[in-house]
Amino acid sequence: MNSKPFTLSTTPPGFADLPPSDMDSRSLIEDFRRYFSRTLGRDEISESSYHAYTAFSMAWRDRMMDRWKKTQAAYDAQDCKRTYYLSLEFLMGRALGNAMLNLEEKSSTADTLKTMGLVLEEIAELEHDAGLGNGGLGRLAACFLDSCATLQLPVTGYGIRYEYGMFRQKIENGYQLEEPDHWLRIGNPWEIERQEHAVRVKFGGYSEFTDEDGHARARWVHSHDVLAVPYDMPIPGYRNGTVNTLRLWKSTATDEFDLEEFNAGSYAEAVGAKNAAEHITMVLYPNDASENGKELRLRQQYFLASASLQDILRHWVKQHGNDFSRFADKHCFQLNDTHPTCAVPELMRLLMDEHGLKWDDAWAITARTVAYTNHTLLPEALEKWPVSMFGRLLPRLLDIIYEINARFLAAVSLRWPGDSERQRRMSIIEEGNDQQVRMAYLAVVASTSVNGVAELHSQLLQQHLFRDFYELWPEKFNNKTNGVTPRRWMASSNPALSALITSAIGPDWITDMPQLRKLAPYAEDTQFRARWRAVKQANKARLSELVQQDCGIIFDINALFDVQVKRIHEYKRQLLNVLHVIHLYDRIKRGQKDGITPRCVLIGGKAAPGYMMAKRIIKLVNAVANVINEDPDTAGLLRLAFLPDYRVTAMEIICPGADLSEQISTAGKEASGTGNMKFMMNGALTIGTLDGANIEIMEEVGRDNFFLFGLNAEQVEAAKCRYDPAAIINQDEDLSRVMHLLECNHFNLFEPGIFDPIIHAICSPHDPWLTAADFRSYVDAQNAVAEAYLNPEHWTRMSILNTAGSGKFSSDRTISDYNRDIWHLPAIAPNGN
């Protein structure tokens, strides 16, 4: 990170004439100089550009500080209802560009930096992606916080300050290798430590019951405590003066130190508690293939829930004393998926054991304040914990869960007398040789609201996964289709397209996305289409540079850019994409080049370290890419690249440059998807199944502007009982050829047999993803894509209409729906704004 020297003493032209303001060039330069030379102790010939980034970020953070304090003061002054968004992931992306966009125009900032010999883009590139999330779940949480601040809603995010992110992905010999992502190694200038608000979190020990004035009281005793220390990050709204808070917890040891062990020479044992405590927030999503990994994951989930709830209750008691009569009127706890469900028994514990409430009063508060968002239909993604482990780590919580379950099953029995099978199905405790705590069921039982994240997903929750609960409490269930923030995913990541849109319909669309409908008539304007194409070509050039830099492969910007970037999982069917690429390769090798549209296929995403099939699919992508890219017959017709270390900052380049968005999951498996929305907003066309939010995307843009293929969710379920992939392969000449190339080790001549598990999965009648079943329909849809792309005017018209139809998928709309139906928060402007 070496840099050329820059000048701290340069005074920009007109500097002396600038009016005093915290946002003007004068104060920005002064603050930058102060932080760079005094706080960081650097001079003009510092060899690390990162110090310039740090100083510049601190100067911008200062510009949020007054707004931040005013926002919190306004919330306190009005004693308003608040929502607390609990999530194990927050995939925030870079903060500097977001701050500049939301507070001030970037152009004036860039001009200011130029006077000192600094380039804004180079400074921004030095920021590390915050390693606080993995994929769509964490990115959705980040979008939601942005929208809450933009809508001026009193919402606080609570998460974990992981020392290491998911992992940094490297590709060697086609295989994924995981390296530590120590994103905090050189600090985070955007966070503020709040040591004064640290709390103790209990683990282990046991429950002790006593009788006080005729009432049974419980205490959690002989526990092994850790300290949770909060770090706050500012979340600015879009040019409205509001700055909300994301509070992240770091685990540390308590002040206790075993001096006796140390003096006896047992140094490791003396600091053992410190090391054990810090492990809790060390790594995002530890590999839970082992018992230790599972235990650490449970510790993380409880640590988040307990620290956050203690913090919230502390604030309440400070303002209202120990009177909880209006607590439920002033709070909502939104659980982002099943991971934070420990919040249910922990809230009960705190209210009863720490604040003296009786069970009925504590449950009345809990059942009115907790709301649950489910994000998956996959059974393995629903949290279940062995009762033995849960009781050993969280004994008091298990007591409470048993009581919740007993009272709940009594209600079930009252509704359906004698239906013991239904009671067994609905029990929070799954019976068997190894009893399990079903955390998703606990969340449903305790929540005032249970929502899915796309219309189809919510229907499937009600009809299948939570059917029994829906029959008991239909009023709890609702849908909140996901959305993404247009500030980061259009205004910031695609400034050229944003400027073109603003020139046509004005700037208000950035906070009122339905206004994009006004773009539709411009799809018929020849000159506007030409400008739209020029923007897309420039964005494709940026993406081509990224692919060449990270993959060593040249993408021709005149070719169709066919993109699938997301977590690697069998249900997302990156494998189906590869089979189509092999099909195109086979056509080229057999001389059938006529009618093939030049195509550059980009695949990217991370596989969980313990997910061997997903890692094998990455190897297959790279093996196929090596053969295709080195074959002279494919030159100018077909390229394939796997982008390593897919992340938010990469997506900010990928999204604007994509022509085709691959959303090809097995129908009924994807809850919603948000990548599909980002691509749509930026004018990419979608090829997809009737799954997740794809259905609503097609409804908004029209069937003629969406490339649909494959079985729907009902057909998928019906096909499973009679699925015969061998017959499908034998009857489809193209698929037979593709399978033959895999079976003869054409792409792995020197590693024979490594793709046999993939071949077996495709050919298995028990393949839950039905890859072979959708192959022919997928190829036909891809042929329609290729034909459409050969007509630039027609393709551009569809591209404009996709952007015009994307207004529904703004996270501003999603958050407005949450607030209207669940949270019921007032919009509050800080004083002076």
Query: What's the pLDDT tens digit per position in 764-820?
Result: 999 999 999 999 999 999 999 999 999 999 999 999 999 999 999 999 999 999 999
**If you write DSSP's letter for every residue of 160-223 in order, what string do you get?**
E--SB-S-EEEEETTEEEEE---TTTT--TT-EE-GGG-EEE--S-EEEEEEETTEEEEEEES-
* pLDDT tens by residue, 674-730: 999 999 999 999 999 999 999 999 999 999 999 999 999 999 999 999 999 999 999
How many other C-beta atoms are found inside a 10 Å radius of the C-beta of residue 546? 18
Rounded to 5 degrees, φ, ψ at 165 are -75, -165
Q: Is the pLDDT of residue 269 over 70?
A: no
- Residue 109: pLDDT band (50, 70, 90) is confident
The stretch 656-660 carries a mean pLDDT of 98
Catalytic residue list: 375, 566-567, 572, 674, 678
Place of tokens 């933009």: 150
Higher pLDDT, 38 or 83: 83
Tokens for 8, please give them. 């701290």
- Residue 18: pLDDT band (50, 70, 90) is very low
Give the range among 82-91, 263-272, 631-640, 748-757 with minimum mean pLDDT: 263-272
Place of tokens 């060449």: 548
* pLDDT tens by residue, 579-636: 999 999 999 999 998 889 999 999 999 999 989 999 999 999 999 999 999 999 999 9
Give the range among 258-262, 374-378, 654-658, 734-738 with minimum mean pLDDT: 258-262
Q: Is the pLDDT of residue 201 over 80?
A: yes
Q: What pLDDT does residue 771 have?
A: 98
Percentage of the chain exceeding pLDDT 90: 82
Q: What pLDDT does residue 265 have?
A: 66
How many whole angstroms separate alpha carbon 641 and alpha carbon 552? Answer: 9
Average pLDDT, the chain: 93
Which of helix, strand or coil describes residue 564? Answer: strand
Q: From residue 798, how far is each of 234, 531, 655 by CA, in Å?
A: 38, 15, 17
Q: From residue 256, how far is each of 267, 274, 752 by CA, in Å?
A: 15, 9, 57
How many whole angstroms separate alpha carbon 32 and alpha carbon 34? Answer: 5
Place of tokens 């869960």: 401
Q: Is the pLDDT of residue 145 over 50?
A: yes
- Residue 832: pLDDT band (50, 70, 90) is low
CA–centroid distance for 304 within its chain: 17
Q: What pLDDT does residue 559 have?
A: 98
How many whole angstroms separate alpha carbon 811 and alpha carbon 819? Answer: 12
Q: What pLDDT does residue 49 have?
A: 77
Q: Is the pLDDT of residue 112 over 80?
A: no
Higher pLDDT, 293 or 631: 631
Q: From residue 410, how far is each of 413, 414, 446, 450, 765 by CA, in Å?
A: 5, 6, 15, 21, 42
Strands 436-438 and 384-386, how do they pair?
antiparallel
Sheet arrangement for strand 560-565: 638-643, 599-604, 560-565, 660-663, 685-688, 707-708
**If you write DSSP's letter for every residue of 68-119 in order, what string do you get?**
HHHHHHHHHHHT--EEEEE-S------SHHHHHHHHS-HHHHHHHHHTTT--
Angle, in degrees to the nearest 10, between helices 96-103 and 49-78: 50
- Residue 17: pLDDT band (50, 70, 90) is very low
Tokens for 155, please give them. 């919402």
Q: Per residue, what are the HEC states of 252-288? A: ECCCCCCHHHHHCCCHHHHCHHHHHHHHCCCECCCCC
Tokens for 468, please give them. 């029994």
Strands 560-565 and 599-604, how do they pair?
parallel
- Residue 250: pLDDT band (50, 70, 90) is very high
**If you write DSSP's letter for every residue of 489-538 in order, what string do you get?**
IIIIT-HHHHHHHHHHH-SGGGT-GGGGGGGGGGGG-HHHHHHHHHHHHH
Residues whose CB is less than 8 angstroms from the CB of residue 632 and which lie 6 or more positions away in sequence, other chains included: none
The stretch 96-114 carries a mean pLDDT of 80
Look at the chain and count its residues: 833
* pLDDT tens by residue, 436-467: 999 999 999 999 999 999 999 999 999 999 99
Q: What pLDDT does residue 117 have?
A: 78
Q: What pLDDT does residue 833 have?
A: 59
Q: What pLDDT does residue 106 have?
A: 62
Q: What pLDDT does residue 691 have?
A: 97
* pLDDT tens by residue, 297-332: 999 999 999 999 999 999 999 999 999 999 999 999
Point out which residues pair with 244 in neighbouring strands.
235
* pLDDT tens by residue, 154-199: 999 999 999 998 899 999 999 999 999 999 988 999 999 999 999 9
Q: Is the pLDDT of residue 499 over 50?
A: yes
Q: What pLDDT does residue 20 have?
A: 42
Residues whose CB is less than 8 angstroms from the CB of residue 264 and which lie 6 or more positions away in sequence, other chains included: none
Which of helix, strand or coil describes residue 60? Answer: helix
Angle, in degrees to the nearest 10, between helices 49-78 and 25-34: 110
Percentage of the chain exceeding pLDDT 70: 93
Q: What pLDDT does residue 1 have?
A: 42
Tokens for 218, please give them. 């419980």
- Residue 270: pLDDT band (50, 70, 90) is low
Q: What pLDDT does residue 185 have?
A: 86
Angle, in degrees to the nearest 10, between helices 106-114 and 25-34: 60
The stretch 246-254 carries a mean pLDDT of 96
The stretch 489-494 carries a mean pLDDT of 96
Higher pLDDT, 258 or 90: 90
C-alpha R_g of the chain: 28
- Residue 2: pLDDT band (50, 70, 90) is very low
Q: What pLDDT does residue 378 have?
A: 83
- Give the predicted TM-score (pTM) of the model: 0.95
Q: Is the pLDDT of residue 19 over 50?
A: no
Q: What pLDDT does residue 262 have?
A: 65
**If you write DSSP's letter for every residue of 378-436 in order, what string do you get?**
-GGGS-EEEHHHHHHH-HHHHHHHHHHHHHHHHHHHHHSTT-HHHHHHH-SEE-SSS-E
